[in-house]
Amino acid sequence: MKCAELLVKCLENEDVSFAFGLPGEENLELLGALSQSEKIKTIIARDERNAAFMANAFGRLTGRPGVCFSTLGPGATNLVTGIADALLDFAPAVAITAQASSARRHKESHQYVDLLSMFRPITKWNCRVEAPATTNEIVRKAFRLAAQEKQGPVHIELSEEIAEMPVDSGPIAVSKHEHSVPNEAAFNKASAMISDAHLPVILAGHGVIRGNASGELVSFARKTGIAVINTFMGMGAVPADDELFVSTIGLQARDYIQCGLDRADLIIAVGYDPVEFSPQWWDGNKKVIHINATPAETDQNYTAFELLGDLGPVLKILADVVTAQKDSGYFLKLKKEIALDMADSAFLSQGRGISPLQIIKDIRKALGRDDILISDVGAHKIWIGRFYPAYAPNTVIISNGFASMGFALPAAIAARLQNPGKKIIAAVGDGGFMMSVAELETAVRYKLPFVAVIFNDNGYGLIKWKQQARCDKNFFVDLGNPDFVRLAESFGCKAYRAEHPAELFPAIDDALQQAVPSVIDCRVDYSTNMKLTEKLGQIVCKI
């Protein structure tokens, strides 16, 4: 057996079902081994960055590391953005790159760059296969580290000479770790802090979803009566229609929920990642309980008492220990204030096009509770985080750590592969759409239907918004676009155009019935962006 064949058998042993990547001369042995696998379906993308996004999204949706691969040189450098995104979005992923043989790595050589040095700052672990017999250990360690909290990407380099060498070892058995929880004294201390608090609040982050602890979090909140807010990537950790759920936080601006953080005397941060919402946005003297699988980040505004362990068991034990029942009436009043925004006609389009709020309402209307919305990065992401109600974990997938444009279309492909029975919508700006548009061909080739809703404003909408707020003018943000309907149709997609509110929902509803990918070119009216900025800027904490 060749080393590349052993590597693929190790991937099969890790329960890998898909591998995303592009072919190259130096990874021919790996491609040959993948072609013989009956357990792994290889998805050939149009760009390595998008292959990494696919692995990233697959890892987030399943909790198992997604796998992507590339050749050396430009193929590997293309992976970088998607792998960095996995690092700061805490998505488990394993990237496998080819490399030049050792006979030419010491000198100037065609397509050779030092990949280990390049991947080191954007991965949890980074290793070259130096001898075929170590392949099984390297793969097992890579998957173990990628799946450990905080989850993230690892990189394996396999040179062309090592890939074809013979080896007679096999995969290493996958072992499961035991649940870990703090000691009794720590639970008692946390219980006392909760009992002493007058107005505690739960801040739920993406770690709740990574730890499959949403059920335990809901039970803890209901047992104690403590209100819950979540970050963008924590959307769905608690159902939006649960009586104790308040809102999503993370606009990095004044908002009603910021009033709640200001008033709270105890923040119970569960699975919270500061990369999404900095502690600088609340009083650094505030008491904090940090419940997570990993220690708290060092931050002068985040001095916390820590309960470290697997979130599900920790929350279950804490719910049993805490006897206090808290009054969340203040936060429920805030929830009503936020609900009024949803009905505020000022956020609906008064001119040409469709307001982002109306688009979000129509998307929510078209999707079931367990269907999936994937958001790219742009102005629309702010509106989705602020106004889209999520009812279950992993039903809203947003890149909000590294926050890379171009994420949504590749992520939708991964979501379709993993969830063949669900409706899937990718919300994407025209800028992000153009960055990954080639993957429409990938979706058509593999018969993977989903709906891409383009928030089309002919420019970089989020930067326009920021410029208007800070500079009161725009520069370097206007773009020209192709005819998205004709472009999508040229790939073999179904395509629609919606320029008026009444045209949008019928288009979404019809697109979701198609057996091919669909694209809706939606003329968005972002004049409401500044209306939201102005409204938030005028907020006075009245209650």
Partners of 224 in the β-ladder: none
The predicted model gives 462-475 an average pLDDT of: 89
Extract the tokens encoding 467. Answer: 């410029």
Extract the tokens encoding 521. Answer: 């070119």
Alpha carbon of 209 to those of 154, 217, 308, 523: distances in Å?
Answer: 21, 10, 16, 33
Q: What is the pLDDT of residues 324-375, one digit of tens each?
A: 889 999 999 889 887 876 666 667 766 689 999 999 999 999 999 999 999 9
Q: What is the DSSP string of 422-479?
A: S-EEEEEEHHHHHHHTTHHHHHHHTT---EEEEEE-SB-HHHHHHHHHHHSS--S-B-
Q: Is residue 516's pLDDT more than 60?
A: yes
Partners of 125 in the β-ladder: 154
The dihedral built from the CA positions of residue 14, 16, 20 and 26, taken in this order, carries a sign that is positive
Of 15, 39, 42, 40, nearest to 173 by C-alpha is 15
Annotation: CATH topology of 184-336: Rossmann fold (3.40.50)
Do 359 and 504 contact (CB within 8 A), yes or no? yes
Dist CA 162 CA 99 (whole Å): 10
Residue that wins the pLDDT comparison between 73 and 281: 73
Q: How far is CA 272 from the centre of its chain?
A: 14
Q: What is the pLDDT of residues 106-165, one digit of tens each?
A: 767 777 899 999 999 999 999 999 999 999 999 999 999 999 999 999 999 999 999 999
Extract the tokens encoding 449. Answer: 């239907």
pTM over 0.85: yes
Domain residue ranges in the chain: 3-163, 184-336, 344-534
Domain 3-163 sits in CATH at 3.40.50.970
Whether 184-336 shares its CATH topology with 344-534 is answered yes
β-sheet with 228-230: strand ranges across? 245-248, 228-230, 200-204, 266-270, 287-292, 304-308
The dihedral built from the CA positions of residue 61, 67, 69 and 74, taken in this order, carries a sign that is positive
HSE-CB for 169 with a 13 A CA cutoff: 17
Q: Considering the chain, what percentage of its residues have pLDDT values greater than 90? A: 80
Dist CA 24 CA 157 (whole Å): 14
Rounded-to-5 percentages of helix, strand, coil across the chain: 45, 15, 40
385: left (phi over 0), alpha (psi -120 to 50) or beta: alpha
Q: What is the DSSP string of 331-361?
A: HHHHHHHHHHHHT-GGGS-SSSSB-HHHHHH
497: left (phi over 0), alpha (psi -120 to 50) or beta: beta
The predicted model gives 18-39 an average pLDDT of: 98
Q: What is the pLDDT of residues 180-195, one digit of tens each?
A: 888 999 999 999 999 9
Domain 344-534 sits in CATH at 3.40.50.970
HSE-CB for 493 with a 13 A CA cutoff: 28
Q: Is residue 512's pLDDT more than 60?
A: yes
Q: Is residue 543's pLDDT more than 70?
A: no
67: left (phi over 0), alpha (psi -120 to 50) or beta: beta
Q: Is residue 387's pLDDT more than 60?
A: yes
The predicted model gives 456-484 an average pLDDT of: 92
